[in-house]
Amino acid sequence: MPMATLRSALFASLAAIAVLPTFSPPASAQAAPTIRVGIAIARPQIRVGSSTPAIIRNEQGQQIGQLPTQQGSYAQPSANGQVQLGSFRARQIWLEPTNDGLVWIGDRWYRGRLQLILDQGAVTAINHVGLESYLYSVVGSEVYASWPTEALKAQAVAARSFVLYRRDRNRDPRFDVGNSTTWQVYKGIASEAPTTIAAVNATAGQVLTYNNRVIEAVFHASSGGHTENVEDVWSKPLPYLRGVQDYDQNAPVFNWSQSFSVQELSAKLTGVGRILQIEPLQTTPFGRIRDLRITGDRGSRVVKGDEVRRALNLRSSLFTVSSEASSNWFDFLRPNPAPQPPSQFTIIGRGYGHGLGLSQWGAYGLASQGVDYRRILSHFYQNTNLSPLGGVIAQNSSGGDLISAQD
């Protein structure tokens, strides 16, 4: 992108920022931990900028320059094994906006400051942002800002607990979490709203605990009527991730269906030739498919429900499969026509996500009935307490299997 075009894009974004209301986090939020979020990973170059004059530092914390307001620049690897930002080079580059300014990374504005590092011969951009400021965006990225306040508060506490659990068991030296559904969605200030900021501030520093330790507060969009016990979906039993009734009937993904031609299905679920039959072998107590058998004209194999979900890009593993045979008008002329192989498969399912922990549409349903966020959280996270972050026992890095927030 030409530099003039980059400057125009930054200027237009700054104009939009100018009309946003200003919010100051409460004192407890200002003292909150910092979260390292991987925004752009191993890119050949990354556009960066600042909404205010920004100090440029090297890996030793020494100031090596300044980036003027509205002057975007490209970060890229240099020939000598350093990161280059404009005319500045260092093993690491930090961009620190003055006066609580924002950083531009790729195509979005973010609170906090920016770290640029070399990564596999490319550049990775990491946003260092205060926990509560991070949540302003996460809540608005994960659910609708127009939802009832108590649903937004429940999402804020769940997201706060989840990111702290992941940070304390992090195995990646570069950053604590990414910005996608593998962790939890984080879109910068574009997804903030007065309602999401108010929900985060109202619950500042509150986390879900079991035995005085922060829990792995996973969540999903919609369970399709009932959440799951964690051991029936992924890992060992946990006393707080238990299956409970959901209240997500208003979710647009409560019911769904997808159809595939036999050619499409056979190309996505390979190894058996032309698919003739798909049959469930084992389900969870609440109906999610754990194992199923795929039979084709070249054999059969048993696969996991989640494997099929990923291969077909299904919303959940809570589904049934039906098939429709091909036919033509000659079949009606035969007294005993031979059975025809299927030409199409239809998958009918419910819900969106893994079905563990908080159901976001379930929280919406409960909040719409006047249930407060404390009761919403205690329903979806059984046997837990709502605790102040300052009184929680520090976690260690030797946790169990890590699972994604939503998938």
Distance (Å, whole) CA 78 – CA 125: 15
pLDDT digit string (tens) for the chain, length 407 residues:
454 444 555 545 554 444 443 444 444 444 579 999 999 999 999 999 999 999 999 999 999 999 998 778 999 999 888 999 999 999 999 999 999 999 999 999 999 999 999 998 999 999 999 999 999 999 999 999 999 999 999 999 999 999 999 999 888 899 999 999 889 999 999 999 999 999 999 999 999 999 999 999 999 999 999 999 999 998 789 999 999 999 999 999 999 999 999 999 999 999 999 999 999 999 999 999 999 999 999 999 999 999 999 999 999 999 999 998 765 555 555 565 556 788 999 999 999 999 999 999 999 999 999 999 999 999 999 999 999 998 776 564 434 444 556 66
So what's the pLDDT on residue 116?
98
So what's the pLDDT on residue 83?
96
Distance (Å, whole) CA 313 – CA 349: 12
So what's the pLDDT on residue 80?
84
Q: What single letter denotes the amino acid at residue 26?
A: P
Distance (Å, whole) CA 187 – CA 219: 18
pTM above 0.85, yes or no: yes
SS3 labels along 19-88:
CCCCCCCCHHHHCCCEEEEEEEEEECCEEEEECCCEEEECCCCCEEEEECCCCCEEEEECCCCCEEECCE
Q: What single letter denotes the amino acid at residue 366?
A: L
Which letter does DSSP use for residue 392 in this model?
A: S
- Which H or E run contains 402? none
So what's the pLDDT on residue 395?
60
Which of 317, 138, 291, 160 is closest to 223 using CA atoms? Answer: 317
Distance (Å, whole) CA 201 – CA 184: 19
Concatenating the DSSP letter of every residue in 291-354 gives EEEEEETTEEEEEEHHHHHHHHT-S-S-EEEEEEE---GGGGGSSSPPPPPEEEEEEEEE-BS-
So what's the pLDDT on residue 316?
98
360 close to 219: Cβ distance less than 8 angstroms: yes
